[in-house]
Amino acid sequence: MPHGGLCPSKSHRVKAVPREAATISSGPGMVHCLLQNAVGRVWGSGLRRGGCAAARLWQHIWPYSGTLLACAKKASKCGRRAQQATPGLVLGVYSKDKEDDVPQFTSAGENFNKLVDGKLRDILNMSGPPLKTGKTRTFYGLHQDFPSVVLVGLGKRTAGVDEQENWHEGKENIRAAIAAGCRQVQDLELSSVEVDPCGDAQAAAEGAVLGLYEYDDLKQRKKMAVSAKLHGSGDQEAWQKGVLFASGQNLARQLMETPANEMTPTRFAEIIEKHLRSASSKTEVHIRPKCWIEEQEMGSFLSVAKGSDEPPVFLEIHYRGSPSASEAPLVFVGKGITFDSGGISIKASANMDLMRADMGGAATICSAIVSAAKLNLPVNIIGLAPLCENMPSGRANKPGDVVRARNGKTIQVDNTDAEGRLILADALCYAHTFHPKLIINAATLTGAMDIALGSGATGVFTNSSWLWNKLFEASIETGDRVWRMPLFEHYTRQVVDCQLADVNNVGKYRSAGACTAAAFLKEFVTHPKWAHLDIAGVMTNKDEVPYLRKGMTGRPTRTLIEFLLRFSQDSA
C-alpha cells in the first residue's frame, strides 16, 4: 500500500452513484449520497492507476463542499433537536454502610437497573470509586428512552436529623445531589429531566427546582431551560409541594437579583400583586402611595424615602384563608429598601451593587405569603412592606437629624446607613393595629449579623420562646437554619441613652451591632409574640449552599412557608 494511501481491493470498491441520482433532500441522507458519489469516482477509476487516494478523494469532494457543509449543519441541528426532546434521568445511589458492601441504589435506581439487565450496576462498578455525597456520574446509551442517565451520591441511607447541624441530613443530601444531577442534564442541553424521588419526593423537587434556577432575565443568551418531573408514579403530592416551596424561594431570588433601576418600589408592589392575585381569590392588595404614608404619620419611613426621586410605596397584602373572616391574622413585616446607597453616610463603592437586594426582607415575606395562598392554608395572614430607596440628596436625612415615628417616639439619626430600622419602626407600629396573633419581621438589617453567623443561619431575636421553637422546628425540616440571638436589656440601654431624642438609630458602641439594631426595633413592639429575623448573612450565596447557584438566595423563604404550614395545622 502506498504511504498515506487508501487502496481497497477490488472486492471493496464502491460503485459510483450517478450525479442525477443524488437528489435526496438535504440532511444526513444527502451527506451520505454525496460522499458515496465522490468516493465511488475515486475508487472506481483513479485509484486503479495508483496515486494518493486522500488527495484524489478531496478533489472529487471539493465541488460538493458547500452543500456538504449545509447538510451537515442541518443534520447537526436535527440531531440536537432530537436530543433535546429526549429526557435525562437522575437516579440516586447510597454510600456503602460497610467497607465490603456494594453501593445501594434507591428503589427507582434498582428498578432501572433491572430494566437494563443489570448493566447500570456493572458500569457503575467499573467506572471508578464509589460516588461521594452530592457528586455525579453520567452514563450513556443504557436505554433508548433515557440515553443519558446521571447517578448522584446520596450519602448514607440512614441519615436523619443531625442535632449538631440542626437540620435533617438526609433531606439536605437529597437536595444537593438532585440539584447537581439536574445541572448535569442541563449541561447536556436536554430540555427535560425525570427525577428519582430518593425516598423524599419533596426534598428531591426542591433540589431540582432550586438547583436549576439562575437569574438570566436580562441576558440574550440563556442556559437551556430544563423542566423537571418526578420519575415513576411515586408521591406526586409531595413532589408538587416541593415544587411550590422551591418556586416561592425562586420568586424571592428573582426579586432580590433584579437590578434596582428595574425593581423600583412601585414595580415590586405590582409584581407581588400579580403573583398574589393569581395564587388565590382570597387575597387583597393595597399599594399605598406617599399621601397615605403621610396620613399615617410615618415620619421615620418618610425621612428615608425623601432622599430619592423614586416615590415610596407601603405595600399591604392580605390572604384570608381562615373559615372565620374575623379570626386574628399573623402579620409579616419586611424591610423593602430597593436600593441602599447608605444615604449621606454613604457606603464604600465596593460591592454596593449588592444593595439591590436590600429589600430581601420584603421579598421573602411576600413570597412566603404567595406560597401560603397557593397551599390554601386555613389561616389569615397580612404582609406589610415599606418600600423606598435610601439615596443621598439635598433632601436626604443628615446625621444628627431627629424624626418622629408613628407611635410618637422621636429618633436621632446618627447614621443614615442604619435606615432599615427606621422604615421598620413605622411598619411595626402599624402591624399592631390588626391585633395579630403574632408579628414576624425579616430584614437584611446589619452587616454585624453577617460577621456573627455568616451564611450558616438566619439570626432570630424574639421575646417569645414558643415562637422561637416553632421557627426552629420549621428550619430543621427545610435545612434553611435559624439561630437564636439575645434581646438583653444590656443592648436596649445602648440605644435609649440618646442626647437629642427618645432613641438613637445606632448603639453607643461599635460592638454587637445586630443586637443593638434588634433592641431598637423592640422599642416599637408591644406584642408578646414578636420575632425579628436578621437575614443579612444569608442574603447571598457563593458556594456554601450546594443547591443554590451563586447570587441572591431568597432565604429563609422556605422556612417561613414551613412555619405557616405547621401553624395552620396546629390551629386546625
> Do residues 321 and 464 both lie within one domain?
yes
Q: How far is CA 348 from the centre of its chain?
A: 28
* End position of a domain, from candidates 213, 233, 253: 233
> Do residues 269 and 179 both lie within one domain?
no
In this structure, what are the phi and psi dihedrals at residue 101, rounded to the nearest 5 degrees? -75, 165
pLDDT digits over 499-515, tens only?
999 999 999 999 999 99
The CA angle 113-116-119, to the nearest 5 degrees, is: 70
Asked if residue 392 belongs to a domain, the reply is yes
pLDDT digits over 241-271, tens only?
999 999 999 999 999 999 999 999 999 999 9
Q: Residue 287 has what pLDDT?
A: 98
Whole-number Cα distances in Å, 210 to 132, 527, 552, 554: 21, 35, 12, 10
Supply the pTM of this predicted model: 0.86
Asked if residue 256 belongs to a domain, the reply is yes
Asked if residue 57 belongs to a domain, the reply is no
Give the active site residue among 56, 288, 421, 470: 421
> Do residues 180 and 278 both lie within one domain?
no
Catalytic residue status for 347: yes
> Do residues 154 and 208 both lie within one domain?
yes
Asked if residue 59 belongs to a domain, the reply is no
Residue 66 binned pLDDT confidence (cut-offs 50, 70, 90): low
pLDDT at 364 over 70: yes
> Do residues 193 and 262 both lie within one domain?
no
pLDDT at 569 over 80: yes
Least confident of 9-23, 106-120, 182-196, 498-512: 9-23
Candidates 277, 379, 368; CA nearest to 330 is: 379
Rounded to whole angstroms, the Cα distance separating 358 from 69 reads 52
Rounded to whole angstroms, the Cα distance separating 424 from 388 reads 12
> Do residues 175 and 282 both lie within one domain?
no
* End position of a domain, from candidates 208, 233, 258: 233
> Do residues 227 and 286 both lie within one domain?
no
Contacts of residue 565, defined as CB under 8 A and 6 or more positions apart, other chains included, come to: 372, 375, 377
Q: How many domains does the chain have?
A: 2
Tell me the HSE value of 227 on the side-chain side, using a 13 A CA sphere: 5
> Do residues 311 and 248 both lie within one domain?
yes
Asked if residue 27 belongs to a domain, the reply is no
Give the active site residue among 347, 437, 484, 566: 347
Rounded to whole angstroms, the Cα distance separating 263 from 414 reads 28
Cell numbers standing for residue 279: 395564587
Catalytic residue status for 437: no
Rounded to whole angstroms, the Cα distance separating 227 from 231 reads 12
Q: Residue 83 has what pLDDT?
A: 54
* End position of a domain, from candidates 233, 255, 281: 233
Q: Residue 137 has what pLDDT?
A: 97
Are 429 and 405 within 8 A, CB to CB?
yes
Torsion of CA 208, 212, 213, 219, to 10 degrees: -160
Asked if residue 38 belongs to a domain, the reply is no
Q: Look up the domain containing 172 and give its range.
A: 88-233
Q: What is the domain-level CATH number for residue 528? A: 3.40.630.10
Asked if residue 45 belongs to a domain, the reply is no
Asked if residue 64 belongs to a domain, the reply is no
Rounded to whole angstroms, the Cα distance separating 458 from 487 reads 15
Q: What is the domain-level CATH number for residue 198? A: 3.40.220.10
Candidates 74, 75, 73, 47; CA nearest to 59 is: 47
Specify the amino acid at residue 218: L
pLDDT digits over 470-487, tens only?
999 999 999 999 999 999
Q: Residue 97 has what pLDDT?
A: 76
> Do residues 162 and 281 both lie within one domain?
no
> Do residues 224 and 261 both lie within one domain?
no
> Do residues 365 and 453 both lie within one domain?
yes
> Do residues 107 and 181 both lie within one domain?
yes
